[in-house]
Amino acid sequence: MFRKVLLCYDGTAEGRRALRQGADVVLCMKSEAYLLAICQSAVASAIPEGVNAMLCEDEDRRAESLLEEGVQWLRERGVTAHGALEFGNAVDRISETAAQVGADLIIVGHKTRGPLARWWSESDEATLLERVSCSILVAMSPDE
């Protein structure tokens, strides 16, 4: 039985699928839910000359709305979730948050990539599977 479920959400269709399947798991198992909204920072990757107050405010507003959207979506389905907003590398943020909250299940969405995309993105970085010590449910669409 999973007592604490970490739901990972980034606003994409895959993230919404993870929320749907995660809500089902949480409700069926009467688990505690924790929502992690993950944003890629436009400010962090921008050239210094391109960073201004308006860009920072827009990014903050977009990020906060992402977290609120996820929490509201879960609430409408009967799931009460505590949550946090994080910026940066998803694998780093997910593994750190899972450890901090004591998650025994992580639910993430998945998007299929073609062979060329996989070839270009090969790296020596550890995968999420290698960074956590709990179970991971990967929410996939039926056609994957």
The stretch 122-135 carries a mean pLDDT of: 79
In the chain, what percentage of residues exceed pLDDT 70?
73
Closest CA to 6 of 124, 129, 104: 104
Confidence at residue 43, expressed as pLDDT on a 0 to 100 scale: 47
Q: Is the pLDDT of residue 83 over 90?
A: no
Q: What is the CA radius of gyration of the chain?
A: 16
| Residue 70 to residues 1, 77, 128, 129, 133, Cα–Cα distance (Å) | 24, 11, 22, 24, 25
CATH topology of domain 4-120: Rossmann fold (3.40.50)
**CB of 98 closer than 8 Å to CB of 4:** no
* pTM for the whole structure: 0.78
Render pLDDT for 10-51 as a digit per residue (tens, 0 to 9). 888 888 889 889 999 999 999 999 999 887 655 445 555 555
Lowest average pLDDT, out of 55-59, 67-71, 125-129, 132-136, goes to 55-59
Helix (H) or strand (E) holding 81: strand 81-87
Domains in the chain: boundaries = 4-120
